């Protein structure tokens, strides 16, 4: 009973907060609501025995990406957003597209059945700790994608500096 209650609480909060995030007119309010949402998603990851991902979710999403968003919002001074039209003129069309996608996905999920299970059981995670178990797979089977990810981050660092720096008049 308690696990279901925990899941339903988290699911309700995540859905309501994500609906609020896309409809607020003040970007700072939206980002703060998103912070609460990320903490609830991290709680769901803990519930699914993914401690490493819960920590990464809080460190990277709440600690880095949202702070970056907040910096940009404060840098741009968006006073106009509070008084202007926040949606495009044809926003009901977006609602129709969303409803169609939702119905399609729910119809697909209903007929979903689970395939054969692997060997990443709870006992194995408890035996060698979650971070070690994930790290073993990441650094053996997925070492090439891991190195490519480091390259992607390097390009992101250089690209962000090049794009955001002031143009020097020659």
Partner 1 sequence: MVELQWYLYLSAAVFTIGVFGFLTRRNIIFMFISIELMLNGVNISLVSFSHYLQDPRGQILAFFVITVAAAEAAIGLAIIISVFRNKETVYVDEMTETKG
Contacts of partner 1 in 87-126 (CB under 8 A):
87-88, 91, 93-95, 97-98, 101-102, 105-106, 109-110, 112, 114-115, 117-121
Tell me how far, at minimum, the Cβ of 168 lies from partner 1, in Å. 14
- 18 CB contacts (<8 Å, ≥6 apart)? 37
Residues 57 and 37: beta-carbon distance below 8 Å: no
Residue 48 has, within 13 A of its CA and on its CB side, a CA count of 12
Among residues 9, 48, 126, 127, which is the contact residue for partner 1, using CB under 8 A?
48
81 binds partner 1 (CB under 8 A): yes
Tell me how far, at minimum, the Cβ of 121 lies from partner 1, in Å. 5
Distances, alpha carbon 70 to alpha carbons 39, 73, 112, in Å: 17, 5, 39
Q: Which of residues 53-72 bind partner 1 (CB under 8 A)?
A: 53, 56-57, 60-61, 64-65, 68-69, 71-72
Which of 115, 170 has the CB closer to partner 1? 115
Rounded CA separation 89/91 (Å)? 6
Residues 39 and 57: beta-carbon distance below 8 Å: no
Tell me how far, at minimum, the Cβ of 86 lies from partner 1, in Å. 6
Rounded CA separation 129/136 (Å)? 11
Q: Which of residues 124-143 bind partner 1 (CB under 8 A)?
A: 133-134, 137-138, 142
Task: Provide the residue count of the chain.
Answer: 170
Site string for partner 1, 14-43 (x = CB under 8 A): xx--xx-xxx---x--xx--x--xx--x--
Secondary structure letter of residue 61 according to DSSP: I
Which of 11, 126 has the CB closer to partner 1? 11
Which of 119, 170 has the CB closer to partner 1? 119
């Amino acid at each position: 009973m308690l696990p279901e209650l925990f899941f339903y609480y988290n699911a309700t909060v995540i859905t309501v907060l994500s609906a609020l995030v896309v409809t607020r007119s003040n970007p700072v309010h939206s980002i703060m609501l998103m912070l609460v949402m990320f903490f609830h998603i991290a709680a769901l990851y803990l519930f699914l025995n993914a401690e490493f991902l819960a920590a990464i979710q809080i460190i990277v999403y709440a600690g880095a990406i949202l702070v970056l968003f907040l910096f940009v919002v404060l840098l741009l001074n968006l006073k106009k957003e509070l008084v202007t039209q926040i949606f495009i003129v044809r926003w009901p069309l977006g609602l129709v597209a969303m409803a169609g996608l939702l119905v399609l996905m729910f119809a697909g999920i209903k007929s979903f059945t689970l395939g054969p299970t692997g060997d990443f059981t709870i006992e194995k995670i408890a035996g060698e700790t979650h971070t070690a178990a994930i790290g073993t797979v990441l650094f053996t089977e997925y070492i090439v994608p891991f190195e490519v990810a480091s390259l992607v981050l390097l390009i992101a660092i250089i690209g962000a500096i090049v794009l955001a720096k002031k143009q020097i008049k020659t």
